[in-house]
Amino acid sequence: MKLVLTKPIEQFIKQQIERGYASPSEVARQAFLRWMDEADDVPPRLQEKLDEAAAGGFRKGSRANIQKIMAGAR
């Protein structure tokens, strides 16, 4: 697989190499692993519940409503 990098990402990789990473592929590997871990932190169906709230099924001002949305998203 071949990836094309933007200038800021290319510069970031160069900085990481200067800081001690072994290779550009190691920098990319670590970045993708971190990105995948962060993606796993989002509860399933959260966007669906947020969309429901935005459509008007959400009562303002109550923290309990946020807890209901989060509980329903799991």
Spatial contact of 27 and 13, defined as CB atoms under 8 Å apart: yes
Closest CA to 44 of 16, 13, 72, 10: 72
Q: For residue 73, what pLDDT is reported?
A: 64
| DSSP type of residue 5 | -
pTM over 0.85? The answer is no
Q: For residue 41, what pLDDT is reported?
A: 65
List, for residues 13-72, the tens digit of each pLDDT value.
999 999 999 999 999 999 888 888 776 666 667 777 778 777 876 556 667 767 777 777
